[in-house]
Amino acid sequence: MIPEPTEAADYHVRYTRCNATNPPPCDNFSDKNEWLPLYRVVAHLARIEEYMGDHHRQSPRRVVITGLGAICAIGNTVDDVWRAVAEGRSGVAPITRFDADGYETTFAAEVKAFDPAMAVGRKDSRRMDRYSQLAVVATREAVSHAGLDIAPIAERVGVLVGTGMGGIETFEHGTETLITKGPRRLSPFVVPMTLPNMASGLVAIDIGSKGPNFATVSACAGSAHAIGEAAMMIRDGRADVMLAGGSEAPITRMGVAGFNAMGALSRRNDNPEGASRPFDAGRDGFVLAEGAAMVTLEELGHAEARGATVVGEVIGYSTTDDANHMVQPAPGGVGAARAMALAMEDASIGPSDVAYINAHGTSTPLNERLETQAVKRAFDGLAYRIPLSSTKSMTGHLLGAAGSLEVVITVMAMRDGLLPPTINQETSDPDCDLDYVPNIAREGDIPIAMSNSMGFGGHNVSLILKRWDGA
């Protein structure tokens, strides 16, 4: 019970004179008895705040998933993506977005059969960078899948779209125009189309949502951050529905050349489909990919009230930073391990409750070694008993959109009881000795799963997802 305030009536009598026309001499505290009732009321308000905080922690608003949307190299819908994952199909192929002759890497994971004019309309497509176009398409699928009518609840619906590169293609074309044709030939849309928050804004315009809206820009952790922060907004009562995820379209001349300059991309030009091989001893870099994935998150009571079909639940989230290096994870994977441990704590579960981990698994020599160490650190001896896989072996690395795509895939895996494979496993690495579900998907009961994302800048995100078996 909330305690009753003491001498509340006395407070009312003494301080009815506290108004704009006759304020008390608030700088004179000589009469302590005069101010004592106010102190008592303030103390009572503090007790109420403490009570409400305890009550909130004990009974948080539950966040469920009611819609999924995805478009990437292995499919233009969620069903197509999941079918390709289950079959272990790669979406990597030679680059067609530009002439890659002379580049150190000549392949990527491009979205296929995508016509922007057909997808978002001819006029709008000219005013959107490709990453925004993909975000709109994925969001529409997530909204449709959720059966959501946004108009009546628009002010309680928000959007968070994560990205790492934003409108890099627009920026690249704009720079080329500036250099070759001069400043007066630049389009007035260059700046807004380039902005990393513009996908969130355009999605809101497209679906009519008027709640919280911003972009999470944390490199390859961007869309995982978006889902985690969106879930927190629903938990805290700031929204009832959030469309959250990420979008990326980095397959440009600058994108490929820039990552090549870092030595980050695979150079298996003779075998594109076999290039992404997380945890394999022969991995030599990640495969650049484009696409978008969005989820409809909803407060459980709101979803039940409208008769929505729930497909999963977000029960845990944590984010940490390595504070170690611009692009290298901390030694021993300590930052990532801490994120996993804190996410499990947030979900009120232990390591033995996690039945599957969708790993960050980029196919770079350093990441997989340190991620394996991080999992061992977070799960101790149980690490060898938990299957984990990297679906980037099929989708390539969508950078800021990777985390949300992997959440979509993990939800489907939980639904169907199928562990996604890590394809292209040919040579074992002694530093990577866990169960990576090599090459072929296999059956497995997944009541609770973890999805991990890490990004340049030392960002770590861990999300805990629960299969929906009823409230």
* pTM: predicted TM-score of the whole model, two decimal places: 0.87
- Region 98-111: what's the mean pLDDT? 98
Q: pLDDT tens digits for 202-251?
A: 999 999 999 999 999 999 999 999 999 999 999 999 999 999 999 999 99
Question: How far is 154 from 192, CA to CA, in rounded Å?
Answer: 24
Number of DSSP helices (H) and strands (E) in the chain, helices first = 16, 14
The residue length of the chain stands at: 471
5 pLDDT higher than 60: no
Query: C-alpha angle with apex 141: 135 to 147, nearest 5 degrees?
Result: 135
pLDDT-derived band at 47 (thresholds 50, 70, 90) equals low
| 39 vs 431, residue with greater confidence | 431
Measured CA to CA in angstroms, residue 206 lies from 137, 144, 164, 200, 392 at distances of 10, 13, 22, 10, 29
Enter the tokens of residue 234.
């629903």
- Given a contact cutoff of 8 angstroms between Cβ atoms, the answer to whether 227 and 79 are in contact is no
Catalytic: 173? Answer: no
Of the residues 145, 220, 225, 302, which is catalytic?
220
410 pLDDT higher than 60: yes
pLDDT-derived band at 17 (thresholds 50, 70, 90) equals very low
- Region 65-83: what's the mean pLDDT? 98
Of the residues 44, 397, 432, 459, which is catalytic?
397
CA torsion through residues 72, 154, 224, 132, sign = positive
According to the model, what pLDDT value does residue 26 have?
44
According to the model, what pLDDT value does residue 35 have?
47
Tell me what percent of the residues of the chain surpass a pLDDT of 90.
84
pLDDT-derived band at 44 (thresholds 50, 70, 90) equals low
pLDDT-derived band at 8 (thresholds 50, 70, 90) equals very low
Please tell me the least confidently modeled range out of 51-55, 273-277, 317-321, 465-469. 51-55
Q: pLDDT tens digits for 347-391?
A: 999 999 999 999 999 999 999 999 999 999 999 889 999 999 999
Among the listed residues 216, 232, 237, 416, the one whose alpha carbon sits nearest the alpha carbon of residue 312: 416
In a 10 Å sphere around its CB, with 0-12 CB exposed, 13-18 middle and 19+ buried, how is residue 414 labelled?
A: buried
According to the model, what pLDDT value does residue 327 have?
82
54 pLDDT higher than 70: no
Domains observed in the chain:
8-51 (no CATH), 64-466 (3.40.47.10)
15 pLDDT higher than 50: no
Among the listed residues 454, 441, 281, 424, the one whose alpha carbon sits nearest the alpha carbon of residue 361: 454
* Residue found under tokens 């039945």: 355
According to the model, what pLDDT value does residue 62 have?
97
Half-sphere exposure of 177 (CA within 13 A, CB side): 14
Enter the tokens of residue 182.
């001069």
12 pLDDT higher than 90: no
Q: pLDDT tens digits for 436-451?
A: 999 999 999 999 999 9
Q: pLDDT tens digits for 303-320?
A: 999 999 999 999 999 999
According to the model, what pLDDT value does residue 10 have?
41
Amino acid (1-letter code) at residue 319: T
58 pLDDT higher than 70: no
Catalytic: 397? Answer: yes
Catalytic: 44? Answer: no
